[in-house]
Amino acid sequence: MISYIKADRTMDSSDTQRNKCAACYKQFNKKEHLVEHMRISYHSVHEPMCGICGKRCRSFEALRDHLIGLLPKAECERIFRERGCTICLTILSSPNALRVHRDSCQLSRGSNGVLHRFANLGIQDDLRIDTGKARVVALACKMVGGGSDGSLDLCARVCIIDEYENILFHSYVKPQLPVTNYRYESTGIRPEYLQDAMPVRHVQKKVHDFLCNGEPIWKIRPRGGKARTVVGHGLDHDMKCLEMDYPLVKIRDTAKYPPLMKTSKLSNSLKYLTKSYLGYDIQHGIQDPYNDCVATMRLYKRMRSQAHKMEEYPLATDPQNKNNFCSWRQSELERMSPNQLFEISRSDFYCWCLDTKDVA
């Protein structure tokens, strides 16, 4: 009797091993449960991967927990402590290679010379929009308070930079509503800075025309075309305060990018992301939108440079962005190996590494 029980347990264990997810390594008693897991999990090559055991994680937060969290995988933690970069979570070949890598991985706060210092001193800059070939730009705003209690966000300062951290536009903005709280401790904005500032309607039109670059809204495509890609953190809020409507296919928001979000699918602050994934601090005391632009652009470029399989991929905003399981019968899926199921699986978000494809 005991031998039968042991045999049954052995068989169950081997069956479970055969029903192990090739991405996150979860194990299931039945193949149909694994198929359902793959159908709803949206695993793909674009998910962050442990460089030691190969496990795929939904976000870099989850990968960090896997490596050095409260309950890390012991072997992965041991190797990561010796050869792992705590900023980009890459595993290097040796401790010496790690030391060399850290010099380039840990960044410092940006600076853009005289124009940047003038902006910090409160000198209003005229509209300096470059009509060149800046295909990707970062945008950030600083808000003052309106309304009876000062809680209504009003855009009072806008900054736009290119991929090389050069300022294209940095100006104060005059809100339509009266300002009741200038929030000087964090914005550094005084009433006189906004007195002769450009009205928000003028700023909105100039920035919108620049971003669209002469391309009609309805013709804007995910990649390619004339319209510029806009990078930022919480861009929906910034666009709303600027009274702008820009296509989602051209927005790269570090607050809503799944690999940069918390394991609870909530947004991380830009301050936390900059410290964790770039290695330096921002947003202490009076905050400059230029520094926010630099941080979001660097985060975007770091995520864009991920070495993933380059394939045609729909945007997450496309309702047809589904796994390929719908084209297979259940019986066919259950005959597939875990690796084969992973090969036909697709993520439910658009990976920024696809922006590196040269699309006309």
Instruction: Produce one character per residue of 156-190: b if its CB has 16 or more CB atoms within 10 Å, e if not.
Output: bbbbbbbbebebbbbbbbbbeeebebbbeeebbbe
**Any idea what the Cα angle at residue 349 is, between residues 347 and 351, rounded to 5°?**
90
Q: How many domains does the chain have?
A: 2
Burial of 6 (0-12, 13-18, 19+ CB in 10 A): exposed
* Pair 248, 233 in one domain: yes
* Pair 292, 312 in one domain: no
Question: 271 in a domain, yes or no?
Answer: no
CA–chain centroid gap for 205, Å, is: 27
* Pair 133, 255 in one domain: yes
* Pair 73, 138 in one domain: no
Question: 278 in a domain, yes or no?
Answer: no
Question: 279 in a domain, yes or no?
Answer: no
* Domain of residue 151, CATH code: 3.30.420.10
Q: What is the pLDDT of residue 122?
A: 39
Q: What is the pLDDT of residue 111?
A: 55
Q: What are the structure tokens assigned to 10, written together? A: 């052995």
Q: What is the pLDDT of residue 110?
A: 62
Q: For residues 257 and 252, give the distance between their C-alpha atoms in angstroms, rounded to a whole number.
A: 8
Question: 1 in a domain, yes or no?
Answer: no
* Pair 138, 191 in one domain: yes
* Pair 100, 243 in one domain: no
Burial of 326 (0-12, 13-18, 19+ CB in 10 A): exposed
Question: 277 in a domain, yes or no?
Answer: no
Q: Are 149 and 117 in contact (CB under 8 A)?
A: no
Q: For residues 23 and 323, give the distance between their C-alpha atoms in angstroms, rounded to a whole number.
A: 15
User: 0.85 exceeded by the pTM?
Assistant: yes
Question: 275 in a domain, yes or no?
Answer: no
Instruction: Give the structural domain span for 177.
Output: 113-266+285-302
Question: 98 in a domain, yes or no?
Answer: yes
* Pair 23, 57 in one domain: yes
CA–chain centroid gap for 198, Å, is: 31
* Pair 207, 348 in one domain: no
What is the three-state SS of the chain? CHHHHHHHHHHHHHHHHHCECCCCCCECCCHHHHHHHHHHHCCCCCCCECCCCCCECCCHHHHHHHHHCCCCCHHHHHHHHHHECCCCCCECCCHHHHHHHHHHHCCCCCCCHHHHHHHHCCCCCCCCCCCCCCCEEEEEEEEEEECCCCCEEEEEEEEEEECCCCEEEEEEEECCCCEEECCHHHHCCCHHHHHCCEEHHHHHHHHHHHHHCCCCHHHCCCCCCCCCEEEECCHHHHHHHCCCCCCHHHEEECCCCHHHCCCCCCCCCHHHHHHHHCCCCCCCCCCCHHHHHHHHHHHHHHHHCCCCCCCCCCCCCCCCCCCHHHHCCHHHHHHCCHHHHHHCCCCCCCCHHHHHCCCC
* Pair 53, 174 in one domain: no
Q: What are the structure tokens assigned to 325, written together? A: 């399981």
* DSSP bridge pairs for 84: 91
Q: What is the pLDDT of residue 134?
A: 77
* Pair 211, 345 in one domain: no
* Pair 43, 78 in one domain: yes
Question: 248 in a domain, yes or no?
Answer: yes
Q: Which residues of the chain have pLDDT under 70?
A: 1-16, 110-133, 217-224, 310-322, 358-360
* Pair 74, 216 in one domain: no
Q: For residues 46 and 58, give the distance between their C-alpha atoms in angstroms, rounded to a whole number.
A: 9
Q: What is the pLDDT of residue 325?
A: 84
